[in-house]
Amino acid sequence: MRSRFNINNYSNLGQRAITAAVGALVVISSSVYSDWTYFVVFAAILAFSQMEFYKLTGLDGMLPLRSFGTFLGVMIFTLTFMIEKERLPNEYLYLIFPIVSLTFFIKLYKKTDKKPFTGVAYTFLGIFYVALPFSLLNLAVFSVDKVFHYEILIGCLMILWASDTGAYFAGTKFGKTKLFERVSPKKSWEGFLGGAFSAILVAFILSQYFHVIADWKWLVIAGIIIIAGTYGDLIESLFKRSIEIKDSGNGLPGHGGFMDRFDGLLLSAPFITAFLKIF
Protein backbone atom coordinates (compact mmCIF):
# COMPACT_ATOMS: atom_id res chain seq x y z
CA MET A 1 0.00 0.00 0.00
CA ARG A 2 1.45 3.32 -1.04
CA SER A 3 2.04 5.75 1.83
CA ARG A 4 1.40 9.42 1.36
CA PHE A 5 3.91 12.02 2.40
CA ASN A 6 2.67 14.13 5.32
CA ILE A 7 5.04 16.69 6.74
CA ASN A 8 3.05 16.77 9.98
CA ASN A 9 4.34 13.27 10.73
CA TYR A 10 7.81 14.70 11.28
CA SER A 11 9.19 16.40 14.40
CA ASN A 12 9.38 20.19 14.55
CA LEU A 13 13.07 20.04 13.65
CA GLY A 14 12.29 17.71 10.74
CA GLN A 15 9.56 20.04 9.49
CA ARG A 16 11.95 23.00 9.77
CA ALA A 17 14.59 21.17 7.76
CA ILE A 18 12.20 20.05 5.00
CA THR A 19 10.53 23.45 4.69
CA ALA A 20 13.89 25.24 4.72
CA ALA A 21 15.31 22.95 2.01
CA VAL A 22 12.27 23.33 -0.28
CA GLY A 23 12.05 27.08 0.32
CA ALA A 24 15.77 27.60 -0.30
CA LEU A 25 15.55 25.55 -3.51
CA VAL A 26 12.65 27.65 -4.82
CA VAL A 27 14.22 30.99 -3.87
CA ILE A 28 17.73 30.17 -5.12
CA SER A 29 16.67 28.49 -8.36
CA SER A 30 14.22 31.27 -9.26
CA SER A 31 16.82 33.97 -8.55
CA VAL A 32 19.57 32.24 -10.51
CA TYR A 33 17.32 31.36 -13.47
CA SER A 34 16.37 34.95 -14.37
CA ASP A 35 15.40 38.32 -12.96
CA TRP A 36 11.79 37.68 -14.01
CA THR A 37 11.47 34.45 -12.02
CA TYR A 38 13.03 36.28 -9.07
CA PHE A 39 10.40 38.98 -9.50
CA VAL A 40 7.48 36.52 -9.53
CA VAL A 41 8.65 34.53 -6.50
CA PHE A 42 9.46 37.55 -4.34
CA ALA A 43 6.30 39.39 -5.32
CA ALA A 44 4.40 36.31 -4.10
CA ILE A 45 6.40 36.18 -0.85
CA LEU A 46 5.72 39.88 -0.31
CA ALA A 47 1.98 39.40 -0.89
CA PHE A 48 1.74 36.44 1.50
CA SER A 49 3.76 38.29 4.15
CA GLN A 50 1.71 41.47 3.91
CA MET A 51 -1.62 39.62 4.00
CA GLU A 52 -0.30 37.79 7.04
CA PHE A 53 0.53 41.09 8.73
CA TYR A 54 -2.92 42.51 8.07
CA LYS A 55 -4.56 39.30 9.30
CA LEU A 56 -2.63 39.55 12.57
CA THR A 57 -3.58 43.20 13.11
CA GLY A 58 -7.18 42.14 12.52
CA LEU A 59 -6.87 39.74 15.47
CA ASP A 60 -6.10 42.77 17.61
CA GLY A 61 -9.27 44.53 16.47
CA MET A 62 -7.70 46.69 13.77
CA LEU A 63 -9.30 47.08 10.36
CA PRO A 64 -6.61 47.77 7.74
CA LEU A 65 -7.42 47.54 4.05
CA ARG A 66 -6.01 44.04 3.55
CA SER A 67 -6.54 43.56 -0.18
CA PHE A 68 -5.85 47.15 -1.20
CA GLY A 69 -2.83 47.43 1.11
CA THR A 70 -1.37 44.23 -0.34
CA PHE A 71 -2.06 45.50 -3.86
CA LEU A 72 -0.16 48.69 -3.01
CA GLY A 73 2.76 46.67 -1.67
CA VAL A 74 3.01 44.55 -4.82
CA MET A 75 2.61 47.67 -6.96
CA ILE A 76 5.56 49.38 -5.23
CA PHE A 77 7.63 46.22 -5.62
CA THR A 78 6.72 46.06 -9.32
CA LEU A 79 7.48 49.73 -9.96
CA THR A 80 10.89 49.58 -8.28
CA PHE A 81 11.74 46.40 -10.19
CA MET A 82 10.72 47.85 -13.57
CA ILE A 83 12.56 51.11 -12.90
CA GLU A 84 15.75 49.38 -11.75
CA LYS A 85 15.51 47.10 -14.79
CA GLU A 86 15.16 50.28 -16.88
CA ARG A 87 11.86 49.22 -18.39
CA LEU A 88 10.23 52.35 -16.94
CA PRO A 89 11.67 55.83 -16.38
CA ASN A 90 12.26 57.02 -12.80
CA GLU A 91 9.31 59.42 -13.05
CA TYR A 92 6.87 56.52 -12.75
CA LEU A 93 7.85 56.19 -9.10
CA TYR A 94 5.72 59.29 -8.44
CA LEU A 95 2.64 57.17 -9.17
CA ILE A 96 3.05 55.69 -5.70
CA PHE A 97 1.94 58.84 -3.91
CA PRO A 98 -1.50 59.43 -5.50
CA ILE A 99 -2.34 55.71 -5.54
CA VAL A 100 -1.40 55.24 -1.87
CA SER A 101 -3.47 58.31 -1.05
CA LEU A 102 -6.55 56.45 -2.32
CA THR A 103 -6.50 54.68 1.05
CA PHE A 104 -8.12 57.77 2.60
CA PHE A 105 -10.89 57.83 -0.03
CA ILE A 106 -11.68 54.16 0.48
CA LYS A 107 -11.83 54.53 4.25
CA LEU A 108 -14.14 57.51 3.88
CA TYR A 109 -16.83 55.23 2.45
CA LYS A 110 -16.40 52.43 5.02
CA LYS A 111 -19.52 53.13 7.10
CA THR A 112 -18.95 50.32 9.62
CA ASP A 113 -15.43 51.40 10.52
CA LYS A 114 -15.58 53.25 13.86
CA LYS A 115 -11.88 54.18 13.85
CA PRO A 116 -11.03 54.78 10.19
CA PHE A 117 -7.71 56.52 10.80
CA THR A 118 -6.47 53.58 12.86
CA GLY A 119 -7.21 51.39 9.85
CA VAL A 120 -5.40 53.84 7.58
CA ALA A 121 -2.39 53.84 9.92
CA TYR A 122 -2.16 50.05 9.99
CA THR A 123 -2.58 49.87 6.22
CA PHE A 124 0.39 52.22 5.84
CA LEU A 125 2.35 50.30 8.50
CA GLY A 126 1.97 47.10 6.47
CA ILE A 127 3.40 48.89 3.45
CA PHE A 128 6.27 50.42 5.39
CA TYR A 129 7.11 47.36 7.48
CA VAL A 130 6.71 44.63 4.83
CA ALA A 131 6.46 45.99 1.26
CA LEU A 132 9.16 48.66 1.46
CA PRO A 133 11.99 46.32 2.58
CA PHE A 134 11.13 43.79 -0.13
CA SER A 135 11.02 46.59 -2.69
CA LEU A 136 14.43 47.81 -1.56
CA LEU A 137 15.83 44.40 -2.49
CA ASN A 138 15.31 45.46 -6.10
CA LEU A 139 17.66 48.39 -5.56
CA ALA A 140 20.21 46.06 -3.95
CA VAL A 141 20.27 43.40 -6.68
CA PHE A 142 20.56 46.07 -9.40
CA SER A 143 23.04 48.21 -7.43
CA VAL A 144 26.06 47.24 -9.56
CA ASP A 145 25.97 48.72 -13.08
CA LYS A 146 22.15 48.50 -13.21
CA VAL A 147 22.47 44.78 -13.98
CA PHE A 148 20.60 42.07 -12.08
CA HIS A 149 23.07 40.22 -9.83
CA TYR A 150 21.50 37.24 -8.14
CA GLU A 151 24.76 36.79 -6.18
CA ILE A 152 23.87 39.78 -3.98
CA LEU A 153 20.46 38.41 -3.10
CA ILE A 154 21.56 34.80 -2.63
CA GLY A 155 24.57 35.93 -0.62
CA CYS A 156 22.46 38.02 1.75
CA LEU A 157 19.94 35.20 2.19
CA MET A 158 22.65 32.60 2.84
CA ILE A 159 24.20 34.83 5.50
CA LEU A 160 20.77 35.38 7.06
CA TRP A 161 19.99 31.65 7.01
CA ALA A 162 23.40 30.86 8.49
CA SER A 163 22.79 33.38 11.26
CA ASP A 164 19.35 31.94 12.03
CA THR A 165 20.58 28.34 11.93
CA GLY A 166 23.67 29.02 14.03
CA ALA A 167 21.61 30.92 16.58
CA TYR A 168 19.01 28.13 16.76
CA PHE A 169 21.48 25.32 17.41
CA ALA A 170 23.84 27.30 19.65
CA GLY A 171 20.91 28.64 21.65
CA THR A 172 19.34 25.19 21.98
CA LYS A 173 22.56 23.57 23.20
CA PHE A 174 24.31 26.33 25.13
CA GLY A 175 21.70 29.04 25.71
CA LYS A 176 21.66 30.25 29.32
CA THR A 177 22.08 34.03 29.30
CA LYS A 178 18.87 35.70 28.14
CA LEU A 179 19.25 38.17 25.28
CA PHE A 180 15.95 40.06 25.63
CA GLU A 181 13.77 38.07 28.00
CA ARG A 182 10.90 40.57 28.13
CA VAL A 183 10.26 40.18 24.42
CA SER A 184 11.64 36.74 23.55
CA PRO A 185 12.38 34.45 26.54
CA LYS A 186 14.02 31.71 24.44
CA LYS A 187 16.66 33.88 22.78
CA SER A 188 20.09 33.91 24.40
CA TRP A 189 23.43 35.62 24.03
CA GLU A 190 24.97 32.22 23.33
CA GLY A 191 22.57 31.80 20.44
CA PHE A 192 23.35 35.28 19.19
CA LEU A 193 27.11 34.56 19.22
CA GLY A 194 26.57 31.22 17.48
CA GLY A 195 24.56 32.97 14.78
CA ALA A 196 27.19 35.71 14.43
CA PHE A 197 29.98 33.16 14.01
CA SER A 198 28.01 31.24 11.35
CA ALA A 199 27.12 34.44 9.47
CA ILE A 200 30.71 35.71 9.38
CA LEU A 201 32.01 32.29 8.28
CA VAL A 202 29.51 32.12 5.40
CA ALA A 203 30.26 35.73 4.42
CA PHE A 204 33.96 34.92 4.23
CA ILE A 205 33.27 31.86 2.05
CA LEU A 206 30.98 33.90 -0.22
CA SER A 207 33.67 36.55 -0.65
CA GLN A 208 35.91 33.88 -2.20
CA TYR A 209 33.36 32.99 -4.87
CA PHE A 210 31.02 35.96 -5.39
CA HIS A 211 33.16 38.80 -6.70
CA VAL A 212 30.36 41.09 -7.82
CA ILE A 213 31.16 43.26 -4.79
CA ALA A 214 34.40 43.70 -2.84
CA ASP A 215 35.32 41.05 -0.28
CA TRP A 216 35.11 43.44 2.67
CA LYS A 217 31.53 44.37 1.75
CA TRP A 218 30.38 40.80 2.38
CA LEU A 219 31.73 41.06 5.91
CA VAL A 220 29.97 44.39 6.43
CA ILE A 221 26.73 42.88 5.13
CA ALA A 222 27.21 40.02 7.59
CA GLY A 223 27.57 42.56 10.41
CA ILE A 224 24.39 44.33 9.28
CA ILE A 225 22.46 41.05 9.16
CA ILE A 226 23.76 39.92 12.55
CA ILE A 227 22.58 43.13 14.25
CA ALA A 228 19.59 44.28 12.18
CA GLY A 229 18.41 40.71 11.60
CA THR A 230 18.41 40.00 15.34
CA TYR A 231 16.48 43.19 16.01
CA GLY A 232 14.07 42.29 13.21
CA ASP A 233 13.39 38.99 14.95
CA LEU A 234 12.90 40.72 18.30
CA ILE A 235 10.58 43.35 16.81
CA GLU A 236 8.38 40.69 15.25
CA SER A 237 8.36 38.85 18.59
CA LEU A 238 7.25 42.09 20.24
CA PHE A 239 4.50 42.45 17.63
CA LYS A 240 3.27 38.87 18.18
CA ARG A 241 3.47 39.22 21.96
CA SER A 242 1.35 42.39 21.79
CA ILE A 243 -1.48 40.38 20.22
CA GLU A 244 -0.71 37.23 22.24
CA ILE A 245 0.10 34.73 19.48
CA LYS A 246 3.05 32.35 19.01
CA ASP A 247 3.50 32.29 15.22
CA SER A 248 2.53 34.77 12.51
CA GLY A 249 0.84 31.95 10.58
CA ASN A 250 1.06 28.29 9.62
CA GLY A 251 1.97 28.55 5.95
CA LEU A 252 5.52 27.25 6.50
CA PRO A 253 5.57 24.04 8.60
CA GLY A 254 8.17 24.18 11.36
CA HIS A 255 8.71 27.90 10.81
CA GLY A 256 5.25 29.38 11.38
CA GLY A 257 4.30 32.02 8.84
CA PHE A 258 6.08 33.97 6.13
CA MET A 259 6.84 36.83 8.50
CA ASP A 260 8.45 34.40 10.94
CA ARG A 261 10.81 33.29 8.17
CA PHE A 262 11.59 36.73 6.72
CA ASP A 263 11.49 38.95 9.83
CA GLY A 264 15.28 39.35 9.84
CA LEU A 265 15.25 40.40 6.19
CA LEU A 266 12.59 43.06 6.78
CA LEU A 267 14.90 45.09 9.00
CA SER A 268 18.17 44.16 7.29
CA ALA A 269 17.15 45.07 3.72
CA PRO A 270 16.99 48.86 4.22
CA PHE A 271 20.46 48.94 5.82
CA ILE A 272 21.98 46.62 3.21
CA THR A 273 20.52 48.64 0.34
CA ALA A 274 21.68 51.94 1.83
CA PHE A 275 25.18 50.51 2.34
CA LEU A 276 25.45 49.17 -1.22
CA LYS A 277 24.09 52.38 -2.74
CA ILE A 278 26.31 54.72 -0.72
CA PHE A 279 29.50 52.67 -1.01
Report the percentage of the chain scoring pLDDT > 90: 66
3-state secondary structure the chain: CCCCCCHHHCCHHHHHHHHHHHHHHHHHHHHHHCHHHHHHHHHHHHHHHHHHHHHHHHHCCCCCCHHHHHHHHHHHHHHHHHHHCCCCCHHHHHHHHHHHHHHHHHHHCCCCCCCHHHHHHHHHHHHHHHHHHHHHHHHHHCCCCCCCCHHHHHHHHHHHHHHHHHHHHHHHHHCCCEEECCCEEEEEHHHHHHHHHHHHHHHHHHHHHCCCCCHHHHHHHHHHHHHHHHHHHHHHHHHHHHCCCCCCCCCECCCECHHHHHHHHHHHHHHHHHHHHHC
pLDDT band at 12 (very low <50, low <70, confident <90, very high): low
How does pLDDT run across 72-93, given as a tens digit for each residue?
Answer: 999 999 999 999 999 999 999 9
Residue 27, pLDDT > 90, answer yes
Residue 251, pLDDT > 60, answer no
Residue 254, pLDDT > 90, answer no
pTM (2 d.p.): 0.90
Instruction: Report the pLDDT averaged over residues 204-213.
Output: 96
pLDDT at residue 6, rounded to an integer: 60
How does pLDDT run across 155-190, given as a tens digit for each residue?
Answer: 999 999 999 999 999 999 998 899 888 888 888 999
Comparison of pLDDT for 202 and 115, the residue scoring more: 202
Instruction: Report the pLDDT averaged over residues 5-27.
Output: 72
Instruction: Report the pLDDT averaged over residues 210-233.
Output: 95
pLDDT band at 1 (very low <50, low <70, confident <90, very high): very low
Residue 276, pLDDT > 50, answer yes
pLDDT at residue 248, rounded to an integer: 61
